[in-house]
Amino acid sequence: MRNKSHLVALMLAIATVTVHANDSPKALQEAFLAALRDNDAQGLAACYAKDAVNFPLDALVQTGGPEAVRADWERFFAGNRVLKIELAQDHLEVHGDTAIAWGLFSLLMEPAEGGEAVEMTGRYMDVARNIDGQWLYVADHASVPLAAPESGAAAD
């Protein structure tokens, strides 16, 4: 019986930590980055509000809500394994219950089937809201800029 009560206490402690993991916009960003480093689609989905809008890296269309985000990342992780993620020129502003973050990212990944690692660099912009005491993304957009045209290329 005593072991059972310890197990229940441990489960409650873990649940409490999970609920409060996103208690600030910075904590939300750190939870997102940790889940990405862990190749954890469910952990990434937990960072989004039910009505969130997401523009994933590998699609032109938006998806919405945690389940769509989870499916997007599961598809991504089926073909890639994240080795490293870094942010640069990152900014974070908080205005009441809304936070805006933007900057540049560098994502090092390797193909799931093996091969050389590939680095993807791009930009991101996120909007988060404090919903019932938990910060969650309500809009997320990441993009990779097009390659610059070669000099001397013919103009149309």
> In a structure prediction context, what are the per-residue pLDDT tens digits for the chain, which is 156 residues long?
554 444 333 333 333 334 446 899 999 999 999 999 999 999 999 999 999 998 877 777 677 889 999 999 999 999 999 999 999 999 999 999 999 999 999 999 999 999 999 999 999 999 999 999 999 999 999 999 887 777 655 554
pTM (predicted TM-score):
0.79
Assign domain 22-143 to its CATH architecture. Roll (3.10)
Please name which of 140, 115, 129 lies closest in space to residue 59, comparing C-alpha atoms: 140
What was the pLDDT predicted at 56? 77
5-27 per-position pLDDT tens digit: 443 333 333 333 344 468 999 99
Torsion of CA 141, 79, 110, 63, to 10 degrees: 10
